[in-house]
Amino acid sequence: MSDPSFDRLGIWNWESENVADEIEYAKYAESKGFDSVWQGESRLVRDAMTIMGAYTQVTDSIKFGPGVTNCYTRNVALMAQTFSTLHELSNGRAMLGIGAWWDPLASKVGIDRQNALRYMWEYCTVLSKLLDLENVTYDGQYIQVEDIELDLVRANADPRAVPIYIGATGLTMNKMSGELVGKGVIDGVYMNYLIPPEHNEMAMEKLTEGVEKQGGEIEDVDRPQLIAVSMDEDADVAIDNARGLVTQYIGQQPHITKASGIDPEVGEQIGEELGGWPADAEDIERASRLVPDEVVTNIVAAGTPEDCVQKVGDYCEAGCTEPSLYSLGSNMKEVIDVFAEFKAE
């Protein structure tokens, strides 16, 4: 296989030991010609909005967004206010990746995610209008607002061109996202990770179905994708370094278990070994012995630098428009350096 070439590249920052490292990685990625930095905000670790505010002050050209925040804990007006501010601070570089969060964390803080599809539809519809500086009244099943708008008395009152991406995991959410792109509400999807490239092809079918239903075409749907990268000159070391993360997701995220290619009964056994969420280090170590190398390399770009580049290329061939690279080790700068060599001019 010939070496791939990437038109666009991004990184994904998440829970570095030192938060200052995440700031440094964003600066370094920009210096190497990368296009975006996405900030993880899934567990109760670091607030993405705070860190992205820092990005606005230390970078000049790289775009940034949460990859992804959730549609429940910030009401739609506050979300519009937040991204209007980030848009101003960065001279228009802010993006918004938004998803339906996950259980059991959501339920532990009192959020009922029933009918997340409808909630996301209503949320994005209102949010888009607010960022366009419209006055909005909306009486939905879940979102109700009356006579609200961004109150920009002294600030620049031009519409906020903030691209919106839905973090779609299920195929039905992909279809709905395609419809919202076709309606001009959102710009694309932030494609899921820890899935094989073949899963992208199923997502592409649903995105196409949705966008064409609204008179658009698949080229209208931007498709950046979070891709886990475990890179080492010794492929065995790289695979071992990724095994723990893969184990946790197989045991705790049913859609990942289904997509990973692992035997369902083994998946159940892994879940039993983990003993629920959150699992401790001993549980993860014990359960990880059930996860073979081929399962790891099926859903992670794990191996030598050459292995990782080829695997990420596979995701792009299957529909990803911009790899968002998440280094599972402490070698983010090395990962950036390796992929920068394959950035299209």
Contact 235, 307 (CB under 8 A): yes
pLDDT of residue 242: 97
pLDDT digits over 174-203, tens only?
999 999 999 999 999 999 999 999 999 999
pLDDT of 165: 98
Residue, of 49 and 105, whose pLDDT is higher = 49
The strand pair at 144-148 and 136-139 is best described as antiparallel
Tokens (6 digits) for 193: 């990770």
d(CA 224, CA 297): 20
- Contact partners, residue 120, CB within 8 Å, separation at least 6: 71, 98, 100, 166, 173, 176
DSSP conformational letter for 41: -
| Predicted confidence (pLDDT) at residue 219 exceeds the cutoff of 60 | yes
Kindly tell me if the per-residue pLDDT of 24 is higher than 80.
yes
Instruction: Give, to the nearest 10 degrees, the angle between helix 197-213 and helix 305-317.
Output: 30
Is 80 exceeded by the pLDDT of residue 33?
Answer: yes
Q: Which of 99, 105, 38, 68 is nearest to 252 (CA)?
A: 105
Indicate whether 25 pLDDT > 80.
Answer: yes
SS3 187: coil
- The owner of tokens 């899934």 is 42
**Residue 314 CB-density burial (10 A; 0-12 exposed, 13-18 middle, 19+ buried):** middle
Give the Å distances, CA to CA, from 218 to 68, 172, 184, 280. 22, 16, 13, 42
Is the pLDDT at 3 greater than 90, yes or no? no
Please report the pLDDT score of residue 254 as a whole number.
74
> To the nearest whole percent, how much of the chain has pLDDT over 70?
99
pLDDT > 80? residue 261: no
Q: Which residues pair with 37 in a beta bridge?
A: 11, 64
Residue 154 confidence class, pLDDT cut points 50, 70, 90: confident
Residue 304's pLDDT is 98
Q: From its phi and psi, is residue 82 left (phi > 0), alpha (psi between -120 and 50) or beta?
A: alpha
More confident residue, 208 or 105: 208
At 325 the three-state DSSP class reads strand
- Span 44-49, average pLDDT: 92
User: What band does 105 get if pLDDT is binned at 50, 70 and 90?
Assistant: confident
Decide which of 3.30.980.10, 3.20.20.10, 3.20.20.30, 3.30.70.3280 is the CATH code for 10-229+327-341: 3.20.20.30
Q: Has residue 143 got a pLDDT over 90?
A: yes
pLDDT tier, 1 (very low <50, low <70, confident <90, very high otherwise): low
Q: Report pTM.
A: 0.94
Provide the pLDDT for residue 260. 76
Q: Tell me what pLDDT residue 113 has.
A: 86
* Mean pLDDT over the full length of the chain: 94
Reply yes or no: is the peptide bond before residue 163 cis, omega within 30 of 0: no
